[in-house]
Structures are given as structure tokens and as C-alpha cells.
Amino acid sequence: MDRLTIVKVGGKVVEEPELLDRLLDDFVRVTGYKMLVHGGGKAATQIADRLGLETKMVDGRRITDADMLEVVTMVYGGLVNKRVVAGLQSRNVNALGLSGADLDLIRARKRPVEDIDYGFVGDVENINTRELRLLLRENVVPVVAPLTHNGKGLILNTNADTIAAHMAIDLANHFKVFLFYCFEKRGVLSDPLDDNSVLPELNESEFLRLQNLGTISSGMIPKLQNGFKALHSGVSEVLVTNPENFSRGRGTRLLRG
């Protein structure tokens, strides 16, 4: 099988030009097929603040009312996406910015209200791998924003870590897939206050233990939940890392079992 590298980039990496440049410099050197999924939550929060909109989060997931949906659509699908695409084009990479609505790429359903009303948040139902494979075979590098649609004209905010995992799982039927979660830290930390306390490896039982202790919290929870799901569903490797160590394969490697 051909190799496919999927890099999900988020946190400060998509906000700070120096970090983003470092990642893109290394990303262009990746051999084989590749694609990039990005977040942009911090930028969305900053724009929302300027507009006088309150940001509400639950376990690292954004509550998206109608006003916030407009903000994330503009920021994710416009500002952040095109910034990444332009950066890749400047490095002679034929990148194409996409949301889940483009090419009917990612269909989702609005999350039902249970204990928490997340608003206009989507749970992924289908990835259009046919279109992705056509693009990849033409040496186009997809750059995917964390926006999906329900097929009835409604755009939905969807966690970027979740999108990356779903794409990795579905494309694992056609490629040998390597999934990288890249943000500002060097990996998963055993001590949130010590950036040097990187866990070189992490299995699911240890993740649950650290989550119960509160050591792993907030946005790291959905990242690792999705990473383990991908690992158990045919993805060859999942690594949590930062721009500096991305190309070296260093960080926290998730383990089966």
C-alpha cells in the first residue's frame, strides 16, 4: 500500500506564524501522499471576543450557537484555511483548501441534545474518500477545515481531531496511514506544568488513569480519544507532537492495548 500522512495541526501552531512556518517547512518534506487538517479555535475565540460573543467550552469542545457558527465558518473556512494554503503554495505545494461541504467531503448530523446542548456541532457520518483519493492521486494536497454539513444546507462545527481520525480510519482501507496530531507541546505531558515531562508512549489504560487524575484534560481528551480510536481501526501509527519534532518522529506514540 502507498503511504499517506495525515497531519492535524491546531493550538498555537496555526496562530503563530513562526510555529506554522516551521511545521509547513517540515510538512513539504514528507514523502508519499499527504494531507492536512487544521483547527483554529484560539483564532475563533479571539474574533468572537472582538465581536462581544462569549465562548463556552465543555471538555475541550466548543458550544456553537448561531452567532458562533458564523464566526467559526469565517475563521476556519476563511482566515485559517487560506493562510495555511497560501503558506503551502509559497513552498510549491499544490494545496487545495476545503471544508466538509466542498465536494460533499464530510457529511455529519447535528449532535442531539442530551446532557449538554452543543448547538450547531456535527458528528461525522460519512467521509467522501473517493474525492479525496482522486485529489491525492493528482498530487493535490487537501487542507481541510473543521466544518462539515448535513446535506440539507446546514454547516456544522466539528472537532478537527475527530475529522482527522475519521479520515485516517476510512482512508486506511486504501493507504498505509500515519496520523500526526501536532500542536505547541512536544507531546502528552505527565505533569501539565512541566513541558519536559513528555510521555514517549501512552496506552489507553494509562490515558484513562491520567484523565481521571485530571492530568490529561480539556482539548487533549478528544485528541487522545480520537487517536486511540484510529489506532484500533486500521491506522498504522498515531503520534502526538509539535512542529520541532514532527519530522523527527518524536513525541508521544499511542500504543494499542
Which grid cell sits at 248? 523527527
Q: For residue range 187-235, what is the model confidence (pLDDT) as tens digits?
A: 999 999 999 999 999 999 999 999 999 999 888 898 999 999 999 999 9
Res. 257: pLDDT tops 80: no
Which grid cell sits at 129? 474518500
Cα separation values, 135 from 101, 106, 143, 195, Å: 16, 15, 11, 38
Q: What superfamily does domain 3-255 belong to in CATH? A: Acetylglutamate kinase-like (3.40.1160.10)
Q: For residue range 96-137, what is the model confidence (pLDDT) as tens digits?
A: 999 999 999 999 999 999 889 999 999 999 999 999 999 999
How much of the chain, in percent, has pLDDT values that exceed 90?
A: 80
Residue 57 pLDDT: 84
Residue 77: its H or E element: none
Q: Is the pTM of this model over 0.85?
A: yes
Residue 114 pLDDT: 87
Contact indicator for 165, 207 with CB cutoff of 8 Å: no
The pair phi, psi for residue 135, each rounded to 5°, is -65, -45
Res. 83: pLDDT tops 90: yes
In terms of Cβ atoms closer than 10 Å to its own Cβ (0-12, 13-18, 19+), residue 137 is exposed
Res. 60: pLDDT tops 90: no
Map out the domains of the chain as residue ranges: 3-255
Q: How far apart are CA 79 and CA 52, in angstroms?
A: 19
In the numeric block, the cell 520541532 is attached to: 244
Residue 231 pLDDT: 96
